[in-house]
Structure 1
């Protein structure tokens, strides 16, 4: 696996990132630098912001993550172990899987076949015994029917025990997987722990501290919270839009008593024509 730049977080590692983030938020009250959690921003807001900035946060531990992923892929490739011809391994592991498959088929089919045989032999045997006189082999048919009935009961019991053992084995395996995760050799486990530590100390915690110190710079806090009665000032206070009822400071309005519009016929005595 060749990486020329910081790798993106793989899908299988996303739950691990979320667990580290949730653990950091859960124990934030134990860190003095995160004491403001719940005052400026609550844990839900911080988690939302950190999930939105996953690429930015994980880039802080890109070197450790690259080493961890590379070591993990090498171990998986070695465990897959293709043979010399490049074909998948069909050795002892494949033989065990094949044997398990045959066992499952026999366990399922045995009760069905035994039950079918029991019904046929019993039905024919009792019909023959009802004849007068009954054939000599009627008793043999009935005996064979009861034998297959007993075989069916034994096969059902074996199948039930097998299912119970399989359920217990799978249950313990799933519990171990949930508690301890995928088992890796010691070097891969060390690489994983180094990535987790770097992700927490150089990625998640600095991001949370910056978000608490300056919530306005955080992605989730860039949305302005306006009051419903507040009108944005976008050029609505210009003098052109000022009402004349605003007082003496209002701009003077032009008058319409210009002499140009006064007729000589409507003047006073001093303006009588000569």
Structure 2
């Protein structure tokens, strides 16, 4: 019995992409120039999908390596490294608590100072309209203009802080393409598997299907000319009838037991 490494569910889409690329570029290969004459691309695609387990057997070693590398990347890190990665942000948060408090003050100061400036200026100018003018009207106006200046200064400081933070985060940001891409080792293993599936599995299968006039597009069996790919399945035991001259198949014979009558003699032979 030969067993094929069945593709994982997440890799079947990649196998179909390899197949579609091979059929799309079939006319660039002289050995696949017959696509569309007896069998079209859709029929060949159906045949290759039905025989996916057989075709991918040709790249079993590369696929095993690819899956192993990918799983190692997905495996959680040891407890020590996880603990360090958890403790590091906590220490960073303790160091940045002062910076966070300063950021809150930088945001609230302009709001509070602006509110106070509006109140003092509004009350001061209302008192200035009265006759006689109260003596503390000028004091309220002075306080209002002071808080107005504090508001303007706070807005400038907050804007400068936002600009510095944006520049700092922009310098340490990882590009989206790099973050979304696969690691080099996984990418190399994947490319090696793709190449092996194409060169040792799909292309020989397609060539054999085009050369075999009896190939059935709806059948899962490989074409007759694909002799170097292992066939998946079981072979039944060899049952043969016994030969005529052998005695193993003959019916046994039985003989009846030999019963004889007891020997009766004269009176002198009395039973004991």
TM-score class, shorter: 0.5 to 0.7
Offset of 1:124 from its aligned partner? 1.6
2:117 is aligned to 122
Aligned residue in 1 for 2:199: 201
Counterpart-to-counterpart distance in 2, 1:108 and 1:50: 62
Tell me how far apart the structure 1 counterparts of residues 57 and 217 of structure 2 sit (CA, whole Å): 18
Shift of 1:29: 2.0
Q: Pick one of 79, 83, 87 that aligns with 1:82.
A: 79
Q: Using a 3 Å threshold, how does the CA distance of structure 1 residues 128 and 169 change in structure 2: closer, same or farther? A: same
Q: Deviations over 1:165-219 (max 9, x none)?
A: 867976x7233467xx31234xx55533332222112232234334444585223
Change (3 A) 1:143 1:57: farther
Alignment of 1:1-274 (within 5 A): 6-11=5-10, 13-14=11-12, 16-43=14-41, 46-47=44-45, 50=48, 54-77=52-75, 80-83=77-80, 89-92=85-88, 94=89, 113-114=108-109, 116-130=111-125, 131-132=127-128, 133=134, 134=137, 136=139, 138-152=141-155, 154-156=157-159, 158-159=161-162, 173-176=175-178, 181-185=181-185, 188=186, 190-213=188-211, 217-219=216-218
Q: What number of residue pairs does the alignment pair up? A: 209
Contact 2:119–2:144 (CA<8 Å) still a contact in 1?
yes
> Comparing both chains, which one has the higher relative contact order based on Cα–Cα distances under 8 Å and sequence gaps of 6 or more?
2
Residues 148-179 of structure 1, C-alpha deviation per residue, up to 9 Å, x if partnerless? 34433553565467568867976x7233467x
CA drift at 1:120: 1.3
- 1:217 is paired with a residue of what secondary structure? coil
Structure showing the higher helix proportion among its residues: 1
TM, length-normalised to structure 1: 0.53
| TM, length-normalised to structure 2 | 0.54
- Runs of 5+ consecutive residues of structure 2 not aligned to the other structure: 129-133, 221-272
CA gap of 1:122–1:39, structure 2 versus 1, over 3 A, is: farther
- Give the whole-Å Cα distance in 2 for the aligned partners of 1:103 and 1:5: 61
TM-align CA RMSD = 4.7
